Amino acid sequence: MGRALLAALLPVAVAALFAPPAAAAGAGLHYVALGDSYASGTGTRSYYPESGNCLRSPFAYPVLWAQAHPGTTFVFDACSGATTEDLVAGQLGHLSAGTDLVTVSIGGNDAGFGQVMTTCQVGGPAACDRAITVAQNYLSIQLPRRLDAAYGAIRDRASSADVVVLGYPQLFETGPCNNTIDAGHRSRLDAVADQLDAVTADRAAAAGFTFADTRSAFTEHRVCAPDEWINGPAWPVRESYHPDREGHARALLPVLQAVTDRVAS
């Protein structure tokens, strides 16, 4: 993390200035939140009407972080369903040399992880195995270059920003559970999340970005836990297998806060 974020966090500032989805005017830290549904807040069941299908939530961790840092000028450009190509094409317009902080969660949709979950939920063990294998191959072969392109585009536009790449949590506990996905396949899906995070961390480091690992923050609060912070199968289906309000407030937000606290201490 660099001096820009440290300088912006230290002054005592006025009330938080943030507006979905456009930037608010004001002095202080300029923060832009990018990414997919894990950044937009899909799973919290409450969304800004003007965000449409992007499903940006007032309970998403980027909004909570901005609210906790008065004086922040906040731009919320994350969008549910976004791939790395969507991010490059549609989410970078508010980045500039004056941007201090960027957060991003991206890559899961490139690997088709949502479809993998659907297949494993309703398609049976053999179909689940095939879908997982396809995703693993994609993560190994194709995702690294896609992340490189996305991270490079972020750096080109936000040359001085501190960029924090938040990883994805494992989704499941593997004990007894009323779920159509058996324990063995839940373990395999958690391993896919581990692989996704490993690739993401590697490419984030290569770009000079900070990787924030979210997995331990959800321990004992994943799907099939007594106190879940990630939705299991849900209605509407879009809410399924995404962090809920507790997941954003008690897991994702503290992970991001810990990164920024290290800079301001």
Q: Check pLDDT > 80 for residue 192.
A: yes
Our answer to whether residue 242 is catalytic in this structure is: yes
Mean pLDDT, residues 40-48 taken together: 98
Query: Which token pair is 81?
Result: 């369903």
Mean pLDDT, residues 180-204 taken together: 96
d(C-alpha 170, C-alpha 222), whole Å: 7
Query: Which token pair is 165?
Result: 């790449």
| pLDDT at residue 11, as a whole number | 36
| pLDDT at residue 28, as a whole number | 82
List of residues 6+ apart from 49 with CB closer than 8 A: none
Q: Check pLDDT > 80 for residue 150.
A: yes
Banded model confidence at residue 76, pLDDT cuts 50, 70, 90: very high
3-state secondary structure 37-92: HHHHCCCCCCCCHHHHHHCCCCCCHHHHHHHCCCCCEEEECCCCCCCHHHHHHHCC
| pLDDT at residue 223, as a whole number | 97
Banded model confidence at residue 29, pLDDT cuts 50, 70, 90: very high
pLDDT tens profile 45-64 = 999 999 999 999 999 999 99
Our answer to whether residue 37 is catalytic in this structure is: yes
Buried b (16+ CB within 10 A) or exposed e, 88-117: beebbebbeeebbbbbbbbbbbbbbbbebb
Catalytic residue among 30, 37, 80, 185: 37
pLDDT tens profile 136-147 = 999 999 999 999
Q: Check pLDDT > 90 for residue 14.
A: no
Among residues of the chain, what percentage have pLDDT more than 90?
Answer: 85
Q: Check pLDDT > 60 for residue 185.
A: yes
Mean pLDDT, residues 13-35 taken together: 55
Catalytic residue among 30, 94, 185, 242: 242
d(C-alpha 18, C-alpha 25), whole Å: 8
Banded model confidence at residue 260, pLDDT cuts 50, 70, 90: confident
* The residue type at 256: L
Average pLDDT of the chain, as a whole number: 90
| pLDDT at residue 24, as a whole number | 36
Beta carbons of 48 and 57 less than 8 angstroms apart: yes
Q: Check pLDDT > 60 for residue 18.
A: no
